[in-house]
Structure formats: structure tokens, C-alpha cells
Structure 1
């Protein structure tokens, strides 16, 4: 068995260009480095981790979602009113009182360091340094947690600047003893999952020199689409009460230091109030706060290549977070690749038969070491097949299937958005029973329409859209839609058989299930024109509503039926109002645009 190569482990404090705690000095953030002991400079794989050094578990309290949706008169909001512009503050650098040889740095104690996954030990053995940065407001660092903000992005960017000799770092927070990254070649990648992968996307949009590639796994490219959707509060599935201020509070680990927290408490509490006001749960409109956190707007600034990794059954960071980033890169002719697996919010390095780790190795070797291994000339997209998890389909472009237009002749249809008509119990939160009733039973709280009888195995791959006209008897309403594969089948599930960190496959159902929800869509009926303003609803008027579904890649077996369901509140995703709302779908008004084609 090969022995691990000798490594050095050290901690530095990188100077950022921001002062989020208002003390008049540039914030310092703690950075941990694990690198091979070699004579030549090495490239670095960098993880920006706001969760480092523990979190405030007791502070993670959710908002009550058993509340009515607020109705608004027509709002006079222009697109220019919601555009964010960053105004930097000019801050002096911290004084330097000497420089230390990096080889003389003492190693931090193990309890100060939290590894992300075993991927990084693997990469160190392959000749890369692993760099882990705690964020603003974390224990041992300066600043305040302002989740997703431009300040947070600039702070994490400063680590890459330091690795390239363009920023300062110190051996500690007090003495001004500078340390330089002579060991780094200047070629840097960013990687990791979820919030960590999100920071990689945000930093890439700054165009920072030295960042050659990023590998975001289930990273957020648009925070509005993570916590909101078309004028609704709509965070991760089963976490409807979550919001950005809660995440900022959760990650503010300076609160875990009994000596440090009292010095910053009032400033932190003020920032929390500002986050709550600006995120605007009440209207859930897109605004300047969310525009600041929409990294997709700045894809044209990206100089790095991107390898997107995303779970198609991830209803935490939904598939479109990664897919829309890939689409934007693809549209601009930038270097990009995408891997879509059947899991939820997981790493797939140890998924049996998955190409994930091999692709990562080759991708990093090419973009950080300059090795000509052909990775940039191969398939652009890898997708795990839902009918056979050992099969990985490859595409050259996304979406691989062009939209087909479906127009329906149907009678006028009326349903009630009234949770009391369903089996759902607000205390028990029996979401599976509600979903079974919605999908398989005739009920008064939805409208079901067969779309297509599948004659031969068909591929649904891309982003579906729906347009319809509806009349609503309340001043506001939630509108939801669902596309469902109906038919008995032992389906592949996102549940793991094995250990995510060792070896696993996805479980196959032992008994046939009746259906699978391919995708969903949602909107606030008052946001029928755009996501940044509300329009009044006349109860006697039919309005046109148009929604995009979350993207997916899914094969439907022959003799199944593709079914559309229109309904109101979604107990898995939306607020749960007490209002009883009648929704009437105008006759022959439903139009669908589906990325579907026969494969046999």
C-alpha cells in the first residue's frame, strides 16, 4: 500500500479589501494550507468554506410558513430600480512589521481544522496544495457574515490574490508579520459542494487572475432562485421556513468565542436586521439585495473554465442552479463541462461506475498543470441514466432535446387551493400522503391533464415551459405545476446503498411504484409579468401565466403516461396559507413546451 507523501500544514491570515465589522481596518480571514513538501512550486485547489470552525446549531430556527400570502396593489417598480451596483470603500493596508520564511511556520492544532472530504488528500498525493479558507465572521477571523454578498466574494477572492502575490497575509492577527506563498505556482482551482461551490462561482465572476478553473458541486449561481421563485418564498424542499438571514446567523461562528463575541455582538445584530429587511420575505420580489447575489449576471467576466457537477434529484440546490450556469458558459463559448448524477445533495467520488473522480483528475491536470490529456476535446455533458445507473449518457450540447409544442383542447376547469381539502396535516407534515393524493387520486384541489401516452421509451431532457390563462377569486394566489411519469415500474431512487465516503450505488425499488415526479414549477399570481413587481388581480379577469419548470434529464418507459397537474400551494416547497382560493383555468388555454423525444 503506497505511503502518504510528506506534507506541511500551516495557517495564515489573509487580508481582504473589505471592512464588514466597521472597525476601520481590513478584515482578516483564517486560511489553512496542506501542501506537499516538494522543491518546486505547486498549483493549489482552494475551498472557500463559510462553515469552517463549527456553526451556531442552536440559532438555526426557521420561519413559520403557515401564513397567508400578502396581497399588493400594482407596484410601480422599474428594472433599473432593482439593479445592484457595488461601491467600494478605500481602505489602507494593514502595516507590515517584518516577513517570515514560510518554512518556519508552526502547524495549527488538529482541532482548528475541518477537512471537507477525502478528495483533497487524494489531490495532495497528486501534487496539489489544498487551501481551506474560513469566511468573514467565522471563529478566529474578522468581519460579519453577509451571505452571498459582494463583500463575501471579495474576501474569498483575496486568497487567490495572495497565492499570486497580489494580496497580503500574516502569521497572526496582531503582529503584522507578513508571509508569502512562494510554494504556489499561481495556478489555482476552486471546488467543493453547496455553499462552498457557490463561493467558487461568485469568485469566478470577478475574473480574478490565477483562477484557472472551478468545480462547483451543487453550487448556487443565483441566490434568489435558491430562496425565492417568481415572487414566492421557496427555499430547499422541506425547508420552507429557511432564509438567507438564518444561514448568515448559522455561519457566524465568532459567536462561539466567549471573548470575541461581546465585542461584535451589536454590529452583528444590526447586520441581521438589515438582512431581514433587504431579503423581503413579505413580498418575495427580486430586488437589489438579490441582484447582488445573482452571479449569472456576470458570467461574461469569468476567465476560468468550469466543470459543473449537479444532482438531478437535488431539491436542496435544484438542478437549474448548475444547469443555468453551464448554459450561460456554453452560450458565450467559454470552456465548460457538466456531470449530472441521480443523487440528491451528495458527493459522487465513490459512486460505483461514476466517471466523477477520473474527470476531476484529468480536468485539474489539464487546467492547472497544462497536461495535454484531451479532456477539453471530449464530451461536454455526462448524465447518469435513470433506467440503468451503470450507463452514463454523453451529449455535446445542452439541452440535447429540442422543445415540442403541445396544445390541448380541454374544458374550463376549476379547483380550490384549500389545504383542508387534502389529507395534509400541518402538525404531522405528512407530505408523502399529500403527494400521493395529489398525483394518483381525483381531488378538488388540482387539475390533472394527460399530456402524452408514451408508446416507446422517450427522453425528457431540458427545461419545460407552460402557458395558460386563469381567473382567481382572491387578490393573490400561489400557482404550481407538476409533470409526472405515470406507470408501474421499479424505479431507481436517490437513496444510497453503501457509504457516500467509501463506496455506494443508488437503491432500486423492490416493489413497483405508481409514479415519479419529473419536475415542478411555481409562481406568485401577482408576479405574472416579472419577478420584481406585483400586479393587482381582478377576480373577474382571465390573465396569462407562464412558468418554466426545473430542468431534468429523465427517460420515460413505454406504455407510461406523461401527466400535467396544476394546483396551488405546494406543501413540499411553498408557504401554506389558510386562504381558500378558487382558480379557474380558461378553456383550451393550456400550452406546453416539452423537451421530449422517442429514443427507441
Structure 2
């Protein structure tokens, strides 16, 4: 086990004493050693209320092979060996003597686990206080740090009772759990937007669900975590709407110019505003649905309000889903504007009674994964005031890069046949309210038909419709600081979405952080080897509370999880920066690879049917050395590696080829060859319900990425797809003369991949991708001029 920790600060000793006193612990370096130790250890068992109960707790803790903690304290100690202190500390952190570590050498276990320690025996009270402060900021077996663990056992349950005015509490640069999440005020309001996405002549009202600390009723103003979550009020069955992958790849007769595919901003009609009949300070509706994101729940007890809004076209709101369209962005922005006092909301949908977010400080962070993170990115690119930061996990930065690729219709990994119209059906939760749906059914069907038409599954081209859903083109407007989290094995929202956005904001005068993990489309807030929650606490304490905790400098710019050594996260100053610690190598496909042939015929669709494959089984088979698809691909290998290498960046392919058809699909996979127990792409549960999100509050599982139990012969590193008629971009078209050689350029998905000594790189070139592209039944013959084709590989030195 390794407990990587990036968010722990190391303040001066005088500041440590101030903070210890602030939380009610001994802080006098001249105090009696034994008395100080007794007071500290008594405080470390807040669940034991009386002395006898604490003594029983002490007796459960071994100090060494001869004494338990009760006996040691009774001896009136004047100092403590480093070994004895960390024997006790490890047990306080949740580890078991004799099982997890040896009492004769706790420091060996701490070093292996990467837990911090003082470097000498505790010779006086000053040393004891230093070591105790460090312990409080050290991570436990339960993922959180020790002070958080104490809070989860009631350490701060009476904190607010000692003050007439509720207030947050800071320790080690982070806000602490001093609010009772169980007593949160739950309410619903309706925010008036500027859009009319259902075309009924009225501004769409958007429902927002709020959970705020009870302390706001006593005058405390709090910052807000806002999650724009289209799934919040449920989803619909999309079986009937899901597309069967087309069997014919259309020949494109013409393309378009850049001007033709550039979206023009949609003018917002000056719709009449609702008539106001009064103003209230109390909401009229209770928030019946529970908060559904553990990350947000964690911060409820730390004095943040949490707001969810599902947006246009969802249950209890007006409008229609537009799947990344400007209306959805405007809806998210409207919520931010209400939270910052710049927009109206109502206590119900009809009476005209307004209500302000009087409990909000006007400082907002947007959070969430996938579609939720997408809307955070979208809102940030408007430059909306009051949005201080986004924490965007696996977000889409261009919807074309989600449902299309280089002139091809592609499916998000694992969801073959999904498209924008399918997601529109999925998230149109207004249909769950029958009384609402009977009024809008025909208008919704017309709207949905327009999405199906405009998404254009025939050509797969980049159009003005997709351009309106490309947030990167507005990246220069971003004023909020940005945290991006993404899986290096996420073939749903592919890594390009994060890395291209990271590049787009690289020169902006904002703070930005990037965290890359080995998972697929998953959260990392509960991964044990990473102190993600603590890092984001440090970040949000600075961003939303304005605390000068040096979060921007303390947290690395880039953190990447290693794919070879378990539980290893490395810090870097940037990702794939060609000006620092990177080199690119161009390799020729003929001279630098071994290949049995330079030609293949794509029989993938027929083989897929004959093998009764699924998308998942195809993805496994196509990268396996010998399988049924061997004749439908080129398999090129490099020599076995003689030293470790780290691929980092965007591999690029320049390919000269000929096909016997006027169009074609080209798919490329870069593969790691060699028997090895590689990481799973979904983290496994290592402690069920062991991450506590507040005192006597919710829990969630702790997970970890683990190597598989059995070795595999290969692993996909990255991939890419292109329509051969779109060699330059996704809107210009070239005509192909069958049998005549031509040239295409293809960027693969960005990657960071550790290749150990003894492994081999393989390049697989094939046609249709049964898992992601459409599935043409017509066979196509490919002939690659290997001598005139190159692969550029980016490496970290």
C-alpha cells in the first residue's frame, strides 16, 4: 500500500501551535510532557466520552512489545522514542500491529507506505507537538487524513456550540468538518433563464435543488459547489432510439469551407420576463431528492452549499435537451448568475414570487464527471463572473470529438449506436411527468427529429451544428481556474477532450491543474492511493474562501498515475511540453518495424458476425497477436525495448496508402506487447463503505487500481480513426481514385504510458472498428506504402 499525499502543508512551528490551539489541542511547548501526551491521546478518541472509556481505548493500543498506551501514559513519561510514537500512530491511522506492521520496526512500514515521520526521538514537549501536528495531517487507512478521521468520529461535533456566530475552521490550509451535514437545509427554486429551448415563447424556468448548511439560517454566508447534472431527475430507456451501426460508408461528393462550418452565435430573443408579484426569503419546496455525488457530500460538512440543476428539458424544468448546445450552456450560466446575485429565481413556477440566494457568498465552483463536467467546461468558456473554478472530471470539450472523429461517425466506447439524439432521449426527463408531457409531446418529437437530422450520421462531417458544441474555440474567455481529471484508458470521453482543452488554456493567466489516472470513465475521489479529496479541499479553500494557502504552488501542475508500479503517482510541471523534458522520434514503418505484409482486406464486419463478437470481445481480439481478425489488419512490431521509456503526448501517423474503393475507414491502434499483469481499467473495491463523508453521515467505498490476477499478451495504449476522404480535417473532402496512392495524416489519442524494458511496441492498422465506427459490409482492400509512411512518437526524457 502507498498513500501518496500532495496536499499536506508544512507550516512553521509557530503556525502549527496556533492551529493546534485553534482545534482545542495542547499547544504549549513548555508544558509537561506526560500531561501533554495524556491530553493529546485522550483527544484522539473522541468517540469515548468518559475517562474510563478512554482508558479502555488506550489499553487497545500497543506502544511496544511490553506496554500498551494506558500503561505507558501511567508511567509518567518525559520523552518518547520515535519507534514507540509511530507504533501508536500507525494504529491510530487504522493499521493493525502484527498484521500490517511489526512493532519492532514501524518505520519500515511507514517508508513503504510513504507516510511522513519526524526524524528523531521525541525528547521534549516541543518534539511531541511537532510530531502530533504531522500525524494529524497524515493520511489514514480510511483514505482521509487523521484529523478528518477524528472529525468523522465526532471530534468537531460541538465546535459551533462554543460560538454565537457559526464559522468555518482552518487547519493545515484546509477547511475542516465543523458543520453537521445531516442538518442541511434542503430546498428547491426555479431560475429564470434567457433561452426558450422549447420554442413556446417563454423564458425557460430551470429547477435548482439546494443543500446548504443550517448555519446559513444564523447569518453565515457560504460558497457553493454547483453541479449541472442532466441525469439528476432520472433517465429514460433508449433502446428504441439507439442506432444500429450503418452497413454502408457513404462516398462524399463534396466538402465544405471553414467559413461554412463555423457557427454563428444564436441571438437570444428579448423574451418578456415573468411578472413579479412579491419577494420571499424562504423557499416553498423541499428538496426531496438526495445529493448524488460523494465529492459534493464531503464538502457539505465543511461549510459549502451544494446545488444541482438538471437544466433545460429535464423534469420540473422547461425546455428541450440540445446536447451540448448553447441553450444548455446558458442554462448552467443562469444558475451561476443567480448564485452571484445577478439573476432572478422564483419560489414556484407560477406565482411570481422571487427569491435570492441570500446565503451565498457569490463564489461558485462547478464540479462533476462526464456530462456534468462538460457543462462546467462550457460555462467556464463564457467567462461568467463568480465562477471561480471548475473541477471537471472526464468532461467533453468538443462534442464532435465525442460522437465523431475525422469525418467518421464513432460511438463513445462501450455504447455502440449512441449519438446525440440518443442522449437527448436519455436525458429528456420531462417525459417522466405525464401532465407536462401531454402538452409538449409533438413539439419535442419535432425537436428530436431536428437533432437526428443535424447530427448527420451519413457523412460524419464537422458542421456548424457541431461547431456550436465546440467549447475549445471559446477557451480564451476562461477566467475561472481549472482542474481537469481524466482517465488515460477512457475510450468513452477520450483523452483528447482533456488534453486539447489543457493546451487551449495553457497561455491564459489562470491557475490550472491536470490529473491523469489509469482508469476508464471513472471517478478518483475514492481511490486510496491518491489524496484527491484533500487536494481539492486545499484548492477550494483558496478558490472559494480566499485563504492564502499557496494551493497553486503546493499542488503539482500535472499528476499522472503510473501504469506499471501500483499506487504510484508522479508530479510534473506540464504535459507533453516540447520545450521541457520531451523528445519526439519519427520512425519509418518499413525500416523501423517488422511486418509480414503491407496489404490486407477488411473482412471485419463478416468476421464479427461469424464470431458472434461484441464490442468488448472485438476490442480484445483486434490487439491480440493471433486471432480471427489477423487477415483484416496490418501488424507491425518494433524490437524489444532495452530500457524503460515513457510515451507522453500525441502520437502522429503519416500514411501513404491505396484502397480499391472510393472511400474507406482507417483505424489505428498502438499496442504494448508482452506477457504482464496489467492494471484493470476500473478500480476494485478495497474497503466497502469505509470512506466516511462526515460525522454520522454518508459513506462510500474505497477503491484502488490493481494489476489483473492473470497476465495478458497485450494492452491498448492509444488509438485513432479517420475517414480516408478527410485526410486534412473533418470538413474538407478529397476524392479517392481506387488503386491510386494518396496520403493521410492522423493524430492518435493523447497518452502517458510507461513501457518497461522487455516490452514491444506494435502498430495495428485496420479498417472498420466494430466497437466504435460504423460496420460496412463491403470489403475493402488496403495497400500501405510502408517506406513512405512514418509514426512520430513523443517521449518524456
- Measured against the shorter chain, the TM-score band is over 0.9
1:61 equivalent in structure 2? 241
The answer to whether the Cα contact below 8 Å between 2:605 and 2:776 also exists between their aligned partners in 1 is no
531 and 209 in structure 1: CA distance in 2 versus 1, 3 angstrom threshold: same
Equivalent of residue 648 in structure 2, options 451, 458, 461: 461
Equivalent-residue separation in structure 1 for 2:338 and 2:796 (angstroms): 50
2:712 equivalent in structure 1? 513
1:249 equivalent in structure 2? 425
2:677 equivalent in structure 1? 490
Equivalent-residue separation in structure 2 for 1:249 and 1:427 (angstroms): 29
Equivalent of residue 203 in structure 2, options 15, 26, 32: 26
SS of equivalent to 1:588 = helix
Q: Which moved more, 1:166-175 or 1:130-139?
A: 130-139
The answer to whether the Cα contact below 8 Å between 1:60 and 1:249 also exists between their aligned partners in 2 is no
Equivalent of residue 507 in structure 2, options 331, 341, 361: 331
Q: Which moved more, 1:294-303 or 1:83-92?
A: 83-92
115 and 588 in structure 1: CA distance in 2 versus 1, 3 angstrom threshold: same
Q: CA deviation at 1:556?
A: 0.8
Equivalent of residue 372 in structure 2, options 184, 192, 196: 196
Equivalent-residue separation in structure 2 for 1:480 and 1:207 (angstroms): 37
Per-residue CA deviations over 1:111-159 (Å, capped at 9, x if unaligned) read xx24222222211111111011121111111111111110111111111
2:460 equivalent in structure 1? 284
Equivalent of residue 269 in structure 2, options 89, 98, 101: 89
How big is the alpha-carbon RMSD for the aligned residues of Structure 1 and Structure 2?
1.9
Equivalent of residue 387 in structure 2, options 172, 191, 211: 211
Per-residue CA deviations over 1:200-252 (Å, capped at 9, x if unaligned) read 00011111110000001111000000000001111211322000011111111
Equivalent-residue separation in structure 2 for 1:450 and 1:55 (angstroms): 45
Per-residue CA deviations over 1:334-383 (Å, capped at 9, x if unaligned) read 32101111111111111111121111111111111111222211310011
The answer to whether the Cα contact below 8 Å between 1:424 and 1:431 also exists between their aligned partners in 2 is no
The answer to whether the Cα contact below 8 Å between 1:28 and 1:173 also exists between their aligned partners in 2 is yes
Q: CA deviation at 1:597?
A: 4.8
Moved over 6 A (4+): none
Per-residue CA deviations over 1:24-53 (Å, capped at 9, x if unaligned) read 211101001101122221111101111121
Q: CA deviation at 1:434?
A: 6.3
1:103-502 matches, within 5 Å, as 105-108=283-286, 110=288, 113-378=289-554, 379-399=556-576, 401-409=582-590, 413-419=598-604, 422=607, 425=610, 427-429=612-614, 431-432=616-617, 435-436=620-621, 438-441=623-626, 443-498=630-685, 501-502=700-701
Q: Which moved more, 1:332-341 or 1:550-559?
A: 332-341
Equivalent-residue separation in structure 2 for 1:60 and 1:284 (angstroms): 22
Q: CA deviation at 1:332?
A: 3.2
2:175 equivalent in structure 1? none
Equivalent-residue separation in structure 2 for 1:471 and 1:79 (angstroms): 27
1:35 equivalent in structure 2? 212
The answer to whether the Cα contact below 8 Å between 2:209 and 2:287 also exists between their aligned partners in 1 is no
Equivalent-residue separation in structure 1 for 2:301 and 2:681 (angstroms): 31
Q: Which moved more, 1:429-438 or 1:276-285?
A: 429-438
The answer to whether the Cα contact below 8 Å between 2:623 and 2:714 also exists between their aligned partners in 1 is no
2:769 equivalent in structure 1? 570
Equivalent of residue 72 in structure 1, options 252, 255, 263: 252
Per-residue CA deviations over 1:519-558 (Å, capped at 9, x if unaligned) read 0011000111210133221013211111011111111110
Q: Which moved more, 1:88-97 or 1:174-183?
A: 88-97
Q: Which moved more, 1:430-439 or 1:486-495?
A: 430-439
Q: Does 1:526 align with 2:725?
A: yes
Per-residue CA deviations over 1:393-452 (Å, capped at 9, x if unaligned) read 111011153322212435871111112674664754264266435530283211122234
Equivalent-residue separation in structure 2 for 1:114 and 1:56 (angstroms): 19
1:14 equivalent in structure 2? 191
Equivalent-residue separation in structure 2 for 1:184 and 1:41 (angstroms): 5
Q: CA deviation at 1:494?
A: 1.6
Greater per-residue strand proportion: 1
Equivalent-residue separation in structure 2 for 1:391 and 1:200 (angstroms): 29
The answer to whether the Cα contact below 8 Å between 2:284 and 2:347 also exists between their aligned partners in 1 is no
Q: Which moved more, 1:420-429 or 1:22-31?
A: 420-429
SS of equivalent to 2:438 = helix
SS of equivalent to 2:583 = coil
List alignment gaps of at least 5 residues for structure 2.
1-152, 158-179, 690-699
Equivalent-residue separation in structure 2 for 1:116 and 1:12 (angstroms): 18
The answer to whether the Cα contact below 8 Å between 2:600 and 2:781 also exists between their aligned partners in 1 is yes
Q: Does 1:584 align with 2:763?
A: no
453 and 155 in structure 1: CA distance in 2 versus 1, 3 angstrom threshold: same
List alignment gaps of at least 5 residues for structure 1.
none
Equivalent of residue 546 in structure 1, options 745, 755, 764: 745
2:98 equivalent in structure 1? none
Per-residue CA deviations over 1:91-111 (Å, capped at 9, x if unaligned) read 121111000123xx345152x
Give TM-score scaled by structure 2 length: 0.72
Equivalent-residue separation in structure 2 for 1:403 and 1:282 (angstroms): 37
Equivalent-residue separation in structure 2 for 1:285 and 1:350 (angstroms): 39
Q: Which moved more, 1:314-323 or 1:191-200?
A: 314-323
Q: Which moved more, 1:350-359 or 1:274-283?
A: 350-359
The answer to whether the Cα contact below 8 Å between 1:299 and 1:328 also exists between their aligned partners in 2 is yes
SS of equivalent to 1:547 = strand
The answer to whether the Cα contact below 8 Å between 1:306 and 1:335 also exists between their aligned partners in 2 is yes
Q: Which moved more, 1:434-443 or 1:171-180?
A: 434-443
Q: Which moved more, 1:2-11 or 1:482-491?
A: 2-11
36 and 324 in structure 1: CA distance in 2 versus 1, 3 angstrom threshold: same
2:280 equivalent in structure 1? 100
Q: Which moved more, 1:485-494 or 1:206-215?
A: 485-494
The answer to whether the Cα contact below 8 Å between 1:82 and 1:291 also exists between their aligned partners in 2 is yes
Q: CA deviation at 1:66?
A: 4.6
Q: CA deviation at 1:321?
A: 1.2
The answer to whether the Cα contact below 8 Å between 1:342 and 1:384 also exists between their aligned partners in 2 is yes
SS of equivalent to 2:300 = helix
Equivalent-residue separation in structure 2 for 1:183 and 1:354 (angstroms): 33
Q: CA deviation at 1:284?
A: 0.5
Q: How many residues align?
A: 593
